[in-house]
Amino acid sequence: GGSDGSSDEGSGGGDGNRTLNVFAAASLTEAFGELEKQFEAEHDGVDVRLNLAGSSQLASQINEGAPADVFASANEKNMDKVVEAGGVEGQPETFATNKLTIAVPPGNPKGITSFADLAGDDLTVVVCASQVPCGSATEEVEQATGVTLSPASEEQDVKAVLTKVELGEADAGLVYVTDVTSAGDKVESVEFPEAEQAINDYPIAVLAEAGQSELAQQFYDLVLGRSGQEELSKVGFGTP
Amino acid sequence: MTLHAELELTRGSFSLSAEFDVPPGTVLAVLGPNGSGKSTLLGCLAGLFVPDDGVVTLGERTLTRTPRLLVQPHDRGVGLLAQDALLFPHLSVVDNVAFAPRSRGASRVASREAARHWLSEVDAAELADRKPAQLSGGQAQRVAIARALAGEPDLLLLDEPLAALDVDAAPAIRGLLRRVLRAAGNQRATVLVTHDPLDALALADHVLVLSRGRVVERGLTRDVLSAPRTPFTARIAGLNLVVGVAEEQGLRTAGGFISGIPAPDVAAGEPAVAVFSPGSVAVYPEGEHSAGSPRNTVAAVVGALEPHGAVVRLRTVDGDGWAEGLAADLTPAAVAELALEPGTPVRLAVKAAAVAIHPAFGP
Amino acid sequence: MTLHAELELTRGSFSLSAEFDVPPGTVLAVLGPNGSGKSTLLGCLAGLFVPDDGVVTLGERTLTRTPRLLVQPHDRGVGLLAQDALLFPHLSVVDNVAFAPRSRGASRVASREAARHWLSEVDAAELADRKPAQLSGGQAQRVAIARALAGEPDLLLLDEPLAALDVDAAPAIRGLLRRVLRAAGNQRATVLVTHDPLDALALADHVLVLSRGRVVERGLTRDVLSAPRTPFTARIAGLNLVVGVAEEQGLRTAGGFISGIPAPDVAAGEPAVAVFSPGSVAVYPEGEHSAGSPRNTVAAVVGALEPHGAVVRLRTVDGDGWAEGLAADLTPAAVAELALEPGTPVRLAVKAAAVAIHPAFGP
Amino acid sequence: MLWIPAGLALALVVLPVVGLLARTDYARLPELLTSSASLNALQLSLVTAVLSTVFCVLLGVPLAVVLARSRSRGVRVLRAVVLLPLVLPPVVGGLALLFLLGRNGFLGYLLDVTAGIRIPFTTAAVVIAQTFVAMPFLVVSLEGALRGAGDRYELVASTLGARPWTVFRRVTVPLLLPALGSGAVLSFARALGEFGATITFAGSLEGVTRTLPLEVYNQAEADVDSAVALALLLIVVAVLVIAVARPRAVEGRP
Amino acid sequence: MLWIPAGLALALVVLPVVGLLARTDYARLPELLTSSASLNALQLSLVTAVLSTVFCVLLGVPLAVVLARSRSRGVRVLRAVVLLPLVLPPVVGGLALLFLLGRNGFLGYLLDVTAGIRIPFTTAAVVIAQTFVAMPFLVVSLEGALRGAGDRYELVASTLGARPWTVFRRVTVPLLLPALGSGAVLSFARALGEFGATITFAGSLEGVTRTLPLEVYNQAEADVDSAVALALLLIVVAVLVIAVARPRAVEGRP
Ligand SMILES: Nc1ncnc2c1ncn2[C@@H]1O[C@H](COP(=O)(O)OP(=O)(O)OP(=O)(O)O)[C@@H](O)[C@H]1O
Ligand SMILES: Nc1ncnc2c1ncn2[C@@H]1O[C@H](COP(=O)(O)OP(=O)(O)OP(=O)(O)O)[C@@H](O)[C@H]1O
Ligand SMILES: [Mg+2]
Ligand SMILES: [Mg+2]
C-alpha cells in the first residue's frame, strides 16, 4: 500500500504540502503520468508537477534557472547541455531506450517490408529533421544501410510524422516504437533490423538546484526501479 | 421627367408626411423652419432611406414603393447636394467633381474636363488640385455644388446650396443655378431647400412650405411669397410681387410700367416679376403730386389695415394697373396722420432702387 | 481681458497677416470673402495652429509667442464655435453642452444644469436627450452655440454662428448673443466671423475686414459699414447709420428725431443707431412738401454722385441735423429728371418702416 | 461583386473548421470535458487570457494614442518597435522573456535579490507571456483606426477646456470603441491560443501554467483525436466569451 | 498621464527584445546568415508571407466591408465565424486544413482525383496555411475601423451614381488605407511568424516548405543561441519589409 510506504520514507516524507517539479520530455507524457500518480500515492502531501515540453526547451529553462528537481531528457545532447552548465547533481543515468520503426497506415497498403522499400519513387515518406533525435537516428540508419531517402517533409518532431501517417497524407514515416504503441490501431508498425544501429537513450538526473533533493532522488529511484521500468515498457520503451 | 412623391416617415417623435409633384424642367423650393423635415424629404427622394409608407416615381420609373427601394441610389440619376459638403477627403477637388461623370461612365479625360468646366462655373478653377482639407468653408461649399451639378442628374436635390457663401459668391452661384436649372430644353426636376425667399424667387416655380413634417402651404412661388397664409411664410416672405414682361429699365405690366433694377439674367421681352418689400412702399394722400425720386407712383384704395409686429400692414384694393393687392408697411403714427382707413384713396410711391426685377417662371 | 494678436501664417499659396486688439467686454466682427482667412485667424487664437510668426496675448497671459504655443488650447479659456458644428457623436445633446463646464471642473450635476440652461437659451431644451445624429442641420448649429457658450470662456470665438438657422431662429439667437456678449460687467473678448452686416451691427463694436489674408479695413462697426472704403465692404454693407439716443418710436439725434422700428432689446434713453439702406431713401426737390407716409423728411445738399452698379449713389453734405453724409440710391432716370448735381439742395424722405433702431456700442 | 471575394475568404476560413467538425470524435467529448486536466487547463486559460486582455487594453490603448497622435519624429521609430513581438517566433519570444525575467536575467535577478520574487513558471508568467504576444495586435489595430478617424473631435474638445487626459477618456476612447472592441477580440484570441512563448517562459505545469493549448499539445502526444476534440472546446469557449463580452455598444455605430 | 501606461506598454514590448539582443552571439551571425539553409528559409518566408498578405488583402477587404456594412441578421453570425482561426491552436488549424485539403480530405480528394493536384508538402500549402491564420487579423481590424468611420462618404458616392463596386474601389478602400496598412502589417507579421499550421499542413522541407520560423525551431533543437540569432534576422527582415512597404500615404492622415 502506498500510504504505508510513505511513512517508511523517514525524514523526507509525510508532512506538509510539498511539490516536486519533474521536467520531462513530451514523449514521456503517458509513462510519467502514471509514475506521477504512483509517486503521489506513496508520498502523502507531495504534489508531483510534470513540466512536459521538448527536451531542448526544458534544457533552456533549467539553464535559465527554472525551479526543477528532476530532468528526464529524450536524448543525451540536451542532458549534456545541463550537465555542462553545472546543473546536474551526480551523473545522469539512462532509464529508457527507444528505437525507430516504420509507421504505415493500417493494412500497409503500399506493402512496405523493409527500410530499403522507403526509397521507392512513388512513396510519400516523412521523417524527422536531423536536429531532433529521431531525425539524427534516421540519418544514422541511412548511413548504416546506404539507403538515401528523399522525404516529402522533415518534421520538427516525431508526433508530426505520426500524424501525417495517421491521416494518410504520408505512405510511411519513421517514428519511435513508443509512438506506434500509443497510436493504437491507427497505424501499423513495420519493424526493421537496422533500427538497432541507432538506439536512442533517455537519461534522467537529479538537478543541483533541486529544492526537494530528497524527493527528487526518490523519484529518480522510482523511474529507474522496477515499477518505473514496467510502466515504461508498457508504452513501448526499451530498458537499458 | 416628372417627379412624383408621396412620403410618410416616422423618426422618433418626428413624423413627415408630404405629397407633391415636380414637373420636368421645373424647380420646387422647399421652405420651412429648422427641423421641419426638409433634409429628410431629400433623403427619401435620393433613396438614402426607405419611407415607412410611400411612393416615389421619376418619369416612368418607380424609384421607391414601400416597403422596398426599387431603384438603388446610384441608379436613380439623382444629384444630391447635402447640407454638409462631405467632399471625399482623399480625392483632389477636381477628382471630387469628376466623381459623378466618372461613375456614370465617362472616360477619365472627359470627366476631368467636365469637372474643370463646373469648377470654373462656380469660380473655383484655381482650387482644382487642392485636397478638401485645404479649402475654406465657402470654397468647399462651392466645390460641393460643382460636384452635384457635374453628374448632369435627372433629379437634382439641393440642400441650402448658398449657405456659407459670401456676398459676392451667393449671387454668382444663384445666377449659375438659375442658368443651369432653367436652361432651355432641360427636362430635369429640381428640389431646392432654402431659408432665403430670394433663392425661391430667383430659382423656383413652385414652393412647398413644411412645418413639423406637414405641408402647410404650396403653390406658385410668387403666390405663396406674396400672399403667405402662415405666419412662418409671412416672416420669410411677405414681399410684393408684380408680374409682367421685362424691359430695359423695369417691367411692363398690364396696368403700366414699373421702374426697377433688373437682375443680370433678365432678358428684355421675357416674362418677369418685380419684387419689392412692403417696407419700401410710401403712401401719400390722393392727388398729392410730387416730383421726387421715386419712379413708381400709382393710385390705389386702402383695402385692409392690420397690425404686423411694430408696424401696420396696409393692403390695397382696386388700384390702378399694378397697384391691386399690394402691401405697404407703415408706422401707426403715419396711419393716424394720414387718417387711413379701408376705402381711403391713396397714392403709392416706390423707389426704383428698391424694386428688383427677376425672370418669372410658371404658368 | 484684452486680446492682442499679431499673426503671420502661410499655408500653401495663402498667407495671412493680421494685427488687432479686442478690449475686454467688446466684440470684434471679422468680415471678408470666402477663403480670406477668417477661420484660420480664429484657429490661431484658439491655439489649434502655431502661426509662422506672431504673438497672442489675453490679459496678462501670453498665449502664443512663435515658435511655440505657450498655452495649450485647453488652458486658454477659449470657447470656439467652429464652422462645422462637430458635436461629439457619442454624447447626448445635453452632455455635449455640459462638456465644457465639466472639463473646467464643475460637478456632473452642476454642469448638466448649466447645459440645460444654455439649451433652453437656444430653444433646444427638448432635444436634450437626443444623439447628434438625430438632429437637423439647424438644430445641431443651435446646440453647438450652446456648447461654446456653456464654458463661460474668457475669449469667445464664433465662426458664422447664425449659418443654417431659419428666419425665426436667427434673430432669436442673435438676440441671445447680444445679451450674452454685452452683459453688464462682462470682461470677455469676443471675435465673431460673419457674412451678414446685420450681425456685425447688432453684435460688434469693431469690425475688421479681411481680404486674401490682409486687413483691408478696420474701425468702429458703424463707421466701417456706413462708409466702406473697399468694394467688398461696400457690397456687404453700405448702409446709412445715424447715432443718437433711443426713444419710444425712434431715435433722438443732435439734429432731430428719426422714426423707426426699434429692435426688441433697445431701451429708451440708451445710446442707439438708426440703420436704413440707401435704396430706401427717396429724394425730392427742395421745398417740395408732401404729407405722405414717410415719417422722416429732412433737407440736405447733394455732395457726390457715383455710379454703383445699376444705380447711382448720391451722398449728401451739409444736411439739416442727421442728414449729413447719408447715401441714397437712385436710378439714372431719377437723377436726370430731378437734374441732380453736386450742390443741388434736396429733401430726403425715409419711411419709418424702413428704419431699424439697434442699440449702439463703442465710444 | 464584393460577395465573390468575400465568399471565398469566408470559405477559406470556414471550410477547414467544418472539416474539423466533421472529423471530430464526439463520443469522447464528455469524457474529455470532465477530466480534471482539461477543466484545470480551461479555467487557467480563461483567467489568464482575460487578465492579459485587460492589461493589453490598459497599457495598449494609451500607447496607440501616443503613437498615432504624436508629431515628433522619434515616435515614428517607436512604431516599428511595437511590431517586434508580432514577428518574433513565439518560442523565441519566450526565450526573450526568460532572458529578461529569468533568474539569471537582468530584471529577474533584481527582482529575486531585492524582493524574492521569481516570475518564471508561475501563473503570472503565463499572463506576461500572453500580454507580450497579444499587445501588438491591440496597438496596431487601434493605431490604424485612430489614423483613419483623424483628430477633429479631439481638437474641439481641447478648445472646450478638456485637458489631454479628459480628451482621452471622454472623446478618444468612446469614439474608438468599435476599433477597441476588435482590437480586444484580437488580443484575447491571440492570448487564448498562445503556446510557444508560454511553454518556454512559463513551462507547462498542470493547474499553474498549463493552459488549454498546452494541454492540447500534451493530448496530441497521446492521441491526435482527443487533441482535436479539446481544440473544439477551446473554439467554443472563445466564441462564447467573445460573443458575451463584446458589448452591444461596440457593435453599433458610434 | 498617457505617457505612463504607454511607456509601460512599450517597456513590456521592448525590454525582452533588448534582453535578446544582449544575449545574442554576434560572432556567429555572419556564419548563420550565409548558411544556405538560412538563406533558403528567409527567401521562402518572404515570398510566402508576401503572397499570403496579398491574398488576405484581396479576399479579406471585401469580407470586412460586407460584414461591417451589411444590415442583415444572418451576417452578424458570420462575424463570429471569422474569428475561428484566431482561437484555433495553430497545430489544430493545420489539422483542419489537412482534413479539408489532404489526400483523404473532402476537397483534397476531389482535386487529386480530378486534376491530380496534391496540396500538402508544397509551397502552395505554406501560403494557404499562412493565409488561413492571418486572414482574421486583417478582417477583424478592418471591421473595427469601418464601424468607427461610418458610411457617410459611401452614401454620398452612391447619390453621385457610383455603383457598389465603384464605391468600394474609389471611396471605401482609399478612406480605409490607414487601417488597411495596419491590418496588412498584422497579417504579414502573423504569416511571417506562422509555425504550427505550416508544419502540420505543409511539412518542413528545406527550400520548399521550411520557412524561417521552422528553421529557427530546428536550430533551437540543436543550439538555442543560433536560433536566437536567426530569430533576430527574422525581426530585422520583418521590420525592414514593413518600413519599406508601408507607403507614406498609409502613414499620413487621409
Ligand atoms: N434619427 C433620428 N431620430 C429622431 N429624430 C430625428 C432623427 N433624424 C432627424 N430627426 C428629426 O427629424 C426632424 C427633421 O430633420 P431634418 O434634418 O429633415 O430637418 P430640416 O428641415 O432639414 O432642418 P434644418 O433646416 O435644420 O436643416 C428634426 O426635428 C430632427 O430632430
Ligand atoms: N492646408 C491648407 N493648405 C493650403 N491652403 C489652405 C489650407 N487650409 C486653408 N487654406 C486656404 O487658406 C485660406 C483661408 O481659409 P479660411 O478657412 O481661413 O477662410 P475663411 O475666411 O474662413 O473662408 P470661408 O468664409 O469660406 O469660411 C483659403 O484660401 C484656403 O483655401
Ligand atoms: Mg436640413
Ligand atoms: Mg471659414
B319, B299 contact by CB (below 8 A) = yes
Chain E residues lying within 8 Å of D119, measured CB to CB: none
Q: Please tell me if residue E200 touches chain A, with a CB cutoff of 8 Å.
A: yes
What is the dihedral sign for C-alpha A88, A90, A96, A99?
positive
Dmax of chain E from CA atoms? 64
Least confident window among C147-151, C313-317, C359-363, E123-127: C359-363
Asked, for residue D6, whether it belongs to a domain, the answer is no
Query: What is residue D124's predicted lDDT score, i.e. its pLDDT?
Result: 93
Task: Please tell me which of A218-232, B159-173, B317-331, E84-98 the model is most confident about, judged by mean pLDDT.
Answer: A218-232
Asked, for residue E101, whether it belongs to a domain, the answer is yes
Alpha-carbon gap: C345 to the closest alpha carbon of chain D (Å): 57
Q: How far is CA B165 from CA B156, C5, C156, C234, in A?
A: 20, 27, 23, 17
SS3 (DSSP) at C349: strand
Q: Tell me what the pLDDT averaged over chain A comes to.
A: 85
Q: Is C61 left (phi over 0), alpha (psi -120 to 50) or beta?
A: beta
| DSSP per-residue string spanning C304-345 | EEEEETTEEEEEEES-SGGGTT-EEEE-HHHHHHTT--TT-E
Q: What residues does C297 pair with on adjacent strands?
A: C349
| Mean pLDDT computed over C149-156 | 91
- Ligand 2, atom 25, residue with closest C-alpha: C34
Q: Among D204, D225, D226, which would you mutate to test the A interface (most chain A Cβ atoms within 10 Å of its Cβ)? A: D204
Chain center to CA of B355: 18
Instruction: Enumerate the domain spans of chain B.
Output: 3-226, 238-359
> CATH no. for residue D188?
1.10.3720.10
Say if residue A102's pLDDT is above 90. Answer: yes
| Cα–Cα distance for residue pair D96/C206, rounded to 1 Å | 68
> Does C67 sit behind a cis peptide bond, omega within 30 degrees of 0 on the bond before it?
yes
With pLDDT > 70 as the criterion, what percentage of chain C qualifies?
Answer: 97
| Cα–Cα distance for residue pair C225/C119, rounded to 1 Å | 33
Q: Which of B153, B219, B166, B202 is nearest to B20 (CA)?
A: B219
Alpha-carbon gap: A184 to the closest alpha carbon of chain D (Å): 9
What's the first-to-final CA gap in chain D, in angstroms? 28
Q: Is D176 exposed, middle or buried (0-12, 13-18, 19+ CB in 10 A)?
A: buried
Task: Please tell me which of C158-167, C300-309, E85-94 the model is most confident about, judged by mean pLDDT.
Answer: C158-167
Q: Which of D181, D189, D186, D176 is nearest to D143 (CA)?
A: D176
Q: Please tell me if residue C82 touches chain D, with a CB cutoff of 8 Å.
A: yes
| Cα–Cα distance for residue pair C161/C173, rounded to 1 Å | 9
Q: Is C26 exposed, middle or buried (0-12, 13-18, 19+ CB in 10 A)?
A: buried
- List pLDDT tens digits, range A45-86: 898 988 888 888 888 888 888 888 999 998 888 899 899 988
Asked, for residue E245, whether it belongs to a domain, the answer is yes
- List pLDDT tens digits, range E189-225: 889 888 888 888 888 888 889 998 888 888 877 777 7
Average pLDDT by stretches of 10, chain B with 363 residues: 92 92 93 93 91 92 85 88 92 95 92 95 93 93 95 92 86 86 83 87 89 91 79 76 85 86 82 84 78 80 81 79 82 83 87 82 53
- pTM of this prediction? 0.83
C39: CA distance to ligand 1 center in Å?
27
Chain center to CA of C172: 15
Put simply, the answer to whether D206 touches A21 (Cβ < 8 Å) is: no
| Cα–Cα distance for residue pair A122/A152, rounded to 1 Å | 11
Query: What is residue B361's predicted lDDT score, i.e. its pLDDT?
Result: 64
Say if residue D32's pLDDT is above 80. Answer: no
Say if residue A15's pLDDT is above 60. Answer: no
- Grid cell, residue D211, equals 493552459
Measured torsion, CA atoms of residues A207, A213, A218, A219, in degrees rounded to the nearest 10: -40
| Mean pLDDT computed over E171-179 | 89
| Cα–Cα distance for residue pair D129/A105, rounded to 1 Å | 39
Query: What is residue E76's predicted lDDT score, i.e. its pLDDT?
Result: 63
- Ligand 2, atom 22, residue with closest C-alpha: C39
Query: Which run of H or of E encompasses A222?
Result: helix A213-224
Asked, for residue D173, whether it belongs to a domain, the answer is yes
Q: What is the DSSP letter of A238?
A: B
Query: What is residue E244's predicted lDDT score, i.e. its pLDDT?
Result: 67
At residue C363 the predicted structure's pLDDT band, cuts being 50, 70 and 90, is very low
Q: Say if ligand 1 is within 6 A of residue C137 CB.
A: yes
The residues lining ligand 2, judged by C-beta closer than 6 Å to any ligand atom, are: B 133-139, 166; C 11-12, 14, 32, 34-40, 83
Asked, for residue D28, whether it belongs to a domain, the answer is no
Length of chain B: 363
D vs E, Cβ pairs < 8 A, gives 338
Chain center to CA of C128: 29
| Cα–Cα distance for residue pair D212/D193, rounded to 1 Å | 8
A158, A175 contact by CB (below 8 A) = yes
- List pLDDT tens digits, range C5-47: 999 999 988 999 999 999 998 999 999 999 999 999 999 999 9
Say if residue A8's pLDDT is above 70. Answer: no
- What residues are neighbours of ligand 4 (ion), with CB under 5 Å? B 136-137; C 39, 83
The total of structural domains in chain D comes to 1
Query: What is residue E224's predicted lDDT score, i.e. its pLDDT?
Result: 76
Query: What is residue C290's predicted lDDT score, i.e. its pLDDT?
Result: 64
Give the other-Cβ count within 10 Å of E125's Cβ: 26
A vs D, Cβ pairs < 8 A, gives 69
Q: Tell me, what amino acid is at C326?
A: L
Alpha-carbon gap: D224 to the closest alpha carbon of chain C (Å): 49
Put simply, the answer to whether B88 touches E156 (Cβ < 8 Å) is: yes
C140: CA distance to ligand 4 center in Å?
18
At residue A11 the predicted structure's pLDDT band, cuts being 50, 70 and 90, is very low
| Mean pLDDT computed over D116-144 | 89
| Cα–Cα distance for residue pair D151/D157, rounded to 1 Å | 10
Asked, for residue D192, whether it belongs to a domain, the answer is yes
- List pLDDT tens digits, range C62-85: 998 888 877 888 888 889 999 888
Q: Which fold has domain C3-226?
A: Rossmann fold (3.40.50)
Nearest-CB residue to B86 (from E153, E174, E254): E153
Q: What residues does B157 pair with on adjacent strands?
A: B80, B191
Residues 6+ positions from C184 with CB-CB distance below 8 Å: none
List of chains touching A (3+ CB pairs within 8 A): D, E
Say if residue A13's pLDDT is above 60. Answer: no
Considering only alpha carbons, which residue of chain E is nearest residue A164?
E200
| Cα–Cα distance for residue pair C40/C196, rounded to 1 Å | 19
Q: Say if ligand 1 is within 6 A of residue C165 CB.
A: no
Top mutation candidate among B16, B38, B81 for ligand 1, by most atoms within 8 Å of CB: B38
Q: Say if ligand 1 is within 6 A of residue C139 CB.
A: yes
- Grid cell, residue B320, equals 390702378
- Ligand 1, atom 6, residue with closest C-alpha: C134
B296, B352 contact by CB (below 8 A) = yes
| Cα–Cα distance for residue pair C318/C338, rounded to 1 Å | 19
At residue E44 the predicted structure's pLDDT band, cuts being 50, 70 and 90, is very high
Q: What angle do CA B308, B309, B315 make, to 5 degrees?
A: 15
Query: What is residue A14's predicted lDDT score, i.e. its pLDDT?
Result: 43
Q: Which of C290, B133, D92 is nearest to A56 (CA)?
A: D92
Atom of ligand 2 nearest to the CA of C43: 18
Chains A and D touch (3+ CB pairs under 8 A): yes
The architecture (CATH level 2) of C238-359 comes to Beta Barrel (2.40)
Q: Please tell me if residue E158 touches chain B, with a CB cutoff of 8 Å.
A: yes
| Mean pLDDT computed over C336-342 | 84
Put simply, the answer to whether B151 touches E160 (Cβ < 8 Å) is: yes
With pLDDT > 90 as the criterion, what percentage of chain C qualifies?
Answer: 38
Query: What is residue C38's predicted lDDT score, i.e. its pLDDT?
Result: 95
Alpha-helical segments (H) within C47-168: 93-103, 108-121, 137-150
| Cα–Cα distance for residue pair D7/D29, rounded to 1 Å | 31
B38, B30 contact by CB (below 8 A) = yes
B23, B187 contact by CB (below 8 A) = no
Atom of ligand 2 nearest to the CA of C32: 21
Q: Which of B49, B59, B84 is nearest to B3 (CA)?
A: B59
Put simply, the answer to whether E203 touches A168 (Cβ < 8 Å) is: no
Domain with D196, as residue range(s), is: 39-250
Asked, for residue E160, whether it belongs to a domain, the answer is yes
C342, C305 contact by CB (below 8 A) = yes
- What residues are neighbours of ligand 3 (ion), with CB under 5 Å? B 39, 83; C 136-137
Bridge-based pairing of strands B3-11 and B14-22 is antiparallel
Q: Which residues in chain A (51-70) have CB-CB distances under 8 A to chain E?
A: 54, 56-57, 60
Least confident window among B184-198, C138-152, D32-46, D230-244: D230-244
| Mean pLDDT computed over D126-152 | 88
Alpha-carbon gap: A3 to the closest alpha carbon of chain E (Å): 40
Atom of ligand 1 nearest to the CA of C141: 26
Put simply, the answer to whether D99 touches A64 (Cβ < 8 Å) is: yes
- Ligand closest to Cα of C40 equals 2
Q: What angle do CA D231, D235, D239 make, to 5 degrees?
A: 170
Asked, for residue D24, whether it belongs to a domain, the answer is no
Least confident window among A8-22, C96-110, C139-153: A8-22
Query: Which run of H or of E encompasses B316?
Result: strand B311-317
Residues 6+ positions from B328 with CB-CB distance below 8 Å: B278, B281, B282, B283, B313, B314, B316, B348, C293
- List pLDDT tens digits, range D39-65: 888 899 999 999 999 999 999 999 998
SS3 (DSSP) at C263: coil
- Ligand closest to Cα of C168 equals 1
Alpha-helical segments (H) within chain C: 38-46, 93-103, 108-121, 137-150, 169-181, 197-203, 221-226, 231-236, 332-337
Query: What is residue C207's predicted lDDT score, i.e. its pLDDT?
Result: 92
B vs C, Cβ pairs < 8 A, gives 209
Residue the block writes with cell 508601408: E246
Q: Please tell me if residue A189 touches chain D, with a CB cutoff of 8 Å.
A: no
